[in-house]
């Protein structure tokens, strides 16, 4: 305990299956989240999640098999938590660290159950995503808001949220140091092409829902290059596309092929939206994208490790916590306002007035009316006649 009282830090992350049998239920949890698949009808969410999870499990298990049969995300996140606690202690700030995953153990609900029994005086909520997206930090904040509304014990905890932190100077230094270490292993370090690969999101998240993710990724890339202070060419592309809709472009596979065609031979990939090794670095980049790059003529393909427990990165997390304790509190409900026009998935419950939910319901009713009109034009009968009600 310190002058601040009993402090807790809740680290949020996505979670990943610990073993192959977990892959199906993990995917079901992921696709059940309306911030991951945005559907016009909420009732469709669970059946569709089940359908997609069943279809995807085999392929996804094959990928997890290639990285040892499960995700290392829990182990690395817990190691980050331990290192953060030690760093905070060294800086004179004792804190309990909790890990809350969105789609697998330890679930956010488990972390919340633990921290409510620990009678904290102050809680810092720190997502392990440097950049904000509706689909990641946004989804976790949405869940936390719900848990807060339901539990009076939680409402008594004085808390603050860190929405995103891609500008944090020690984080930028950690990234620059990791990149420098990798390019300095090439015979001509200045000739190496630096390839930033960010996890993609559907384009509609940015263009229709106002997700600041793309802007934060672009600014983060720029700031890392500024911190690196090297003359190398660089590219930013988006990986891990799922499903038939258009995602942020350029896609990583296309950008690699284009660079190969232009004669790039030496390239390092920098995973930019992840702070831990996981399936998308160890399998997708190290195996799938390496193969694509080599086929395109990029013979010297390397990857920069994720920050994991790099001392400068842990220092960045500690700085974020200490700054958050000193600054005025930021509440969960303020985050979406702060991120300007972000539209999280609209609530289902009808709300009177010029609200998002009213807009959604009006849209749905208008769609039904339109379908009824088309049916009447084609069949010559109204909908109620057709279904035998009139």
49 is a site residue for ligand L6N33NVT (CB under 6 A): no
Dump strand ranges (E) for 244-389: 266-271, 300-303
Burial string for 267-295 (b: 16+ CB within 10 Å, else e) reads bbbbbbbbbbbbbbbbbbbbebbbebbee
| Residues 220-259 interacting with ligand L6N33NVT (rule: CB under 6 A) | 242
The secondary element (H helix, E strand) that includes residue 52 is helix 45-66
Judged by CB under 6 A, the stretch of 157-165, 248-256, 278-286, 381-389 that binds ligand L6N33NVT is 278-286
Piece of the chain touching ligand L6N33NVT by CB under 6 A; list 119-127, 276-284, 310-318, 340-348: 276-284
Instruction: Assess 14 for contact with ligand L6N33NVT (CB under 6 A).
Output: yes
- Among 86-94, 131-139, 159-167, 328-336, which window interacts with ligand L6N33NVT (CB under 6 A)? 131-139
299 annotated as belonging to a binding site for a ligand: no
Q: b/e for 216-255, b at 16 or more Cβ within 10 A?
A: bbeebbebbbebbebebebbbbbbbbeeeeebbeebbbeb
Figure out which of the listed residues 74, 122, 173, 278 binds ligand L6N33NVT, where binding follows CB under 6 A: 278
Q: Which stretch binds ligand L6N33NVT (CB under 6 A): 273-281, 306-314, 317-325, 363-371?
A: 273-281
> Cβ 270 to ligand L6N33NVT, closest distance in Å?
14
What minimum distance in Å lies between the beta carbon of 231 and ligand L6N33NVT?
Answer: 29
The reply on whether position 307 binds ligand L6N33NVT by CB under 6 A is no
Regarding 306 and contact with ligand L6N33NVT (CB under 6 A), the answer is: no
Determine if residue 280 is labeled as part of a ligand binding site.
yes
Rounded Cα–Cα distance for residues 247 and 238 (Å): 8
Q: x/- contact string, 191-220, with ligand L6N33NVT (CB under 6 A)?
A: --------x-xx------------------
| Angle at alpha carbon of residue 100, lines to 98 and 106, rounded to 5° | 95
Q: Does 36 bind ligand L6N33NVT (CB under 6 A)?
A: yes
* Main-chain phi, psi angles of 97, to 5 degrees: -110, 135
Q: Does 273 bind ligand L6N33NVT (CB under 6 A)?
A: yes
d(CA 201, CA 351): 29
Peptide bond into 106 cis (omega under 30): yes
Cβ(190)–Cβ(268) below 8 Å: no
b/e burial code for range 85-107 (CB count within 10 A of at least 16 → b):
bebbeeeebebbbbbbbbbbebb
123 forms part of the interface with ligand L6N33NVT (CB under 6 A)? no
Q: Give binding residues as ranges.
A: 199, 280
Where on the chain is the footprint of ligand L6N33NVT (CB under 6 A)? 14, 16, 30, 36, 56, 60, 71, 73, 129, 133, 135-136, 199, 201-202, 242, 273-274, 278-280
């Amino acid at each position: 305990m310190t002058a601040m009282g009993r402090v807790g830090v809740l680290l949020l992350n996505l979670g990943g299956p610990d073993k192959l049998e977990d892959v199906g239920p993990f995917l079901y949890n992921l696709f059940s989240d309306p911030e991951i698949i945005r559907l016009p009808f909420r009732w469709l969410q669970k059946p569709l999640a089940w359908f997609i999870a069943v279809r995807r499990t085999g392929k996804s298990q094959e990928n997890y098999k290639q990285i040892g049969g499960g995700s290392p995300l829990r182990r690395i996140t817990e190691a980050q938590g331990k290192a953060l606690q030690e760093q905070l202690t060294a800086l004179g700030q004792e804190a309990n660290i909790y890990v809350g995953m969105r789609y697998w153990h330890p679930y956010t609900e488990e972390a919340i159950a633990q921290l409510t029994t620990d009678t904290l005086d102050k809680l810092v909520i720190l997502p392990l995503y440097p950049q904000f997206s509706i689909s990641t930090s946004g989804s976790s904040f949405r869940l936390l808001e719900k848990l807060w509304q339901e539990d009076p014990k939680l409402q008594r905890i004085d808390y603050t949220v860190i929405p995103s932190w891609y500008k944090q100077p020690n984080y930028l230094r950690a990234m620059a140091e990791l990149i420098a270490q990798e390019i300095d292993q090439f015979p001509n370090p200045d000739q190496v092409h630096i390839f930033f690969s960010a996890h993609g999101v559907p384009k509609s998240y940015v263009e229709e829902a106002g997700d600041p993710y793309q802007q934060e990724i672009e600014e983060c890339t720029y700031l890392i290059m500024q911190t690196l202070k090297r003359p190398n060419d660089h590219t930013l592309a988006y990986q891990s596309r799922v499903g038939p809709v258009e995602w942020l472009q350029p896609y990583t596979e296309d950008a690699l092929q284009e660079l190969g065609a232009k004669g790039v031979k030496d390239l390092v990939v920098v995973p930019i939206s992840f702070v831990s090794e996981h399936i998308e670095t160890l399998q997708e980049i190290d195996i799938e994208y390496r193969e694509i790059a080599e086929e395109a003529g990029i013979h010297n393909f390397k990857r920069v490790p994720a920050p994991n427990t790099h001392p400068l990165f842990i220092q960045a997390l500690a700085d974020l916590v200490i700054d958050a304790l000193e600054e005025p509190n930021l509440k969960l409900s303020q985050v979406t306002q702060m991120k300007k026009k972000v539209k999280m998935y609209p609530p289902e419950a009808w709300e009177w007035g010029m609200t998002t939910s009213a807009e959604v319901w009006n849209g749905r009713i208008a769609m039904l009316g339109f379908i009824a009109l088309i049916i009447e034009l084609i069949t010559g009968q109204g909908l109620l006649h057709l279904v035998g009600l009139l």
